[in-house]
Structure 1
Amino acid sequence: MRGNALAVIIAVGFAASLNSAQAQNYPTRAITLVIPFAPGGSTSIVGRGIADKMSELLGEKVVVDNRPGAGGTIGTKAVAKSDPDGYTLVLGYTGTLAIGPSLYKSAGYDPRKEPSLYKSAGYDPRKDFAPIGLIGNAPNSLVVHPSFPAKTVAELIAHAKANPGKVNFGSAGAGTVSHITGEYFARTAGITLVHIPYKGTGPALTDLLGGHIPMAFAPIPASHPNVSAGKLRALAVTSTTRSSLLPDVPTMAEAGLAGFDASLYYGLAAPAGTPRPIIDKLNKVLRDALGSDEVKRQLANDGTEITPGTPEDYADFIDKDEKKWSQLIKTSGVEQE
């Protein structure tokens, strides 16, 4: 018994020493940051800015790899199944770590009692990732093409009620934040909208700018430049407070939908099992990047409020965010098979 106990102690000590040595030498080659959406959307805007600064601080390139599809679950699942060596990371996002796993489930599902139901999404946001840290948050915006007759949320609701089932809205894809936000809006407003999914915010905005769809829910970092240029009209933001980038645009609550709140959050995560010393090093570099004037300015210009923290802070946030959006999904009546 004593021999076995000693062997365990030695093994644990050796593993700790090995992990510490790995962290000291890490990284020795390029790191891949998977952004699970198409280029041009908010995740790419935020992710590329973080990747560039982290590359500078780490002394090794952080290469962005856009892998869109299935509401961001394809790229996220790929990272969950990657080697836990610190060389494959994912830009965590409300749509992939809170909505995706909640969407592919049965009614009344409790993730603490029925973790096997995560099999449809292909990963468990609580068990399959090692959270590195939060980056920040930003609300979605309800934007319409200039030719759309509604100039306010109230006018949009009235128009939709007069034309049931004839008003389309675009999103970054089935099961994404923008999709669920649209369904949540329609349910709250008592209207019927037709969902048009795209493979990312970028493609959705391209069709909106071209007049192929009349409206969309899009993150402010992606929609703001076109709103400022007069190419799109913003009717509302989905957070509880106004955006500093769109100070004249009301919140949904101010527009008449009391209690409406659908903000989105970004973070950085690695596959579960990644050595803690590497996670700690990445957390420090991430926080240093977020504290730099360059990144602060860039994210502020994109309407993202920086909210750095520890890996434990992010793990706790993922748990709470998944529960919140699971309830919103039930409220909206949306479910994916």
Structure 2
Amino acid sequence: MTKKNIHRRSILALSMGAVALGFAAHSQAADYPAKPINFIVPFAAGSATDLLARALGQSVTADGKQSVIVDNKAGASGMIAAQHVAKAAPDGYTVLITTNTTQSANEHLYKKLPYDPVKDFAPVTGLGKGGQVLVVNSASAYKNVGELLAAAKKMPGKLSFGSGSSSSRVAGEMLKQLAGVDILHVPYKSNPLAITDLLGGQIDMMITDTSTGIPQIKSGKLRALGYSTKTRSAQLPDVPTLEEAGVKGYDMGYWFAAYVPAGTPKEVVARLNELLKNATKSAAATSFYATAGSVAWTTTPEELAQFQASDALKWGKVIKAAGIQPE
């Protein structure tokens, strides 16, 4: 056999292999989902992200005819879960249901990440946006933001705030920076765990997602002092924004989104995008948004990638201005 024929055979074999891979990817997408889907949540059960994942999972299970398993891998500001998904098979069956914590904030809060928030993931869709609420124990002597900050100025470093996510931490650090006060930061694996210590009197305050905070506020166990975004929460209409309460320029929200491992076939991403968009309109998800103080927010994969890029820049500026040094 001549070298020319061998070369032609090699090209033909490579071409046939590429076609076969193409057919395999197409078949995989056409059959998706063909087995249970794992929703990996970076925070503990009971957190806002967990509650949203479970609400969405009900709809995806019904529409996709396959069960959705919610797996909470809490800890390390979401890095454990993000790393797990980054290393998973790129087939659409391991989905990161996450927030700006893992995708925008962590790269500015830690010197080394066990994952790349851009290169290791394929964006699927945005899922929701919301704000946070500054809360104290209902037995606390502080009845409003002014009283709390006055005490913090009189006792530098004596009051403490807890946080179980980067959003919660940066929100607290921003309060310190804009109000010019020194409050001790106490880290937790998740916001519900910080709430437990707040209820127990181990910490003085925290700025938590509304999904975690509102039930405790409604039950009378926590007192809401201020809301983190520029506009008040529909669920807490009597609670002033932190800016209204005197902390000028304060505005710090959060967002939810879905990602899969980089290299996941575009057809699978598109199908998952469709399933999740439909899920945000389900009764369970609508109930979550209404009670959590957040709103549905969906995107194309490309729109989410662009949003994440701009949001990461914003978080970088906020974290630097707050004087937070990467750990």
TM-score band by shorter chain is over 0.9
Task: Kindly report which structure 2 residues correspond to 1:1-337, keeping only aligned pairs within 5 A, or say none.
Answer: 10-105=16-111, 120-173=112-165, 176-337=166-327
Matched residues in 1 for 2:270 and 2:81: separation? 24
Structure 1 vs Structure 2 CA RMSD:
1.7
SS at match of 1:291: coil
**Cα deviation 1:207-248 (Å, max 9, x = unaligned):** 112222221111001100111111101111111111111111
Taking structure 1 as the reference length, what is the TM-score of the superposition? 0.91
Q: Distance in 2 between matches of 1:287 and 1:324?
A: 26
Q: Distance in 2 between matches of 1:336 and 1:102?
A: 6
Structure 1: tracts of 5 or more residues without a match: 106-119
How far apart are the structure 2 equivalents of 1:207 and 1:157? 21
Deviation at 1:251, TM superposition (A): 1.2
Q: Aligned partners of 1:133, 1:305: CA distance in 2, in Å?
A: 14
Q: Deviations over 1:131-186 (max 9, x none)?
A: 1100001111110011222211111111100111110111105xx11111111110
The percent identity for this pair of structures is 38
Cα distance in 2 between the residues matched to 1:212 and 1:161: 20
SS in 2 for 1:191: coil
- Structure 2 distance, partners of 1:302, 1:235, is 17
In structure 2, stretches of 5+ residues that fail to align are: none
Check conservation: 2:171, 2:252, Cα contact below 8 A: yes
Secondary structure at the residue paired with 1:142?
Answer: strand
The answer to whether the 8 A contact 2:108-2:326 is kept is: no
When structure 1 is superposed on structure 2, of 272-281 and 298-307 the one drifting more is 298-307
In structure 2, the residue matched to 1:117 is: none
Question: Could you tell me how far apart the structure 2 residues matched to 1:7 and 1:265 are?
Answer: 47
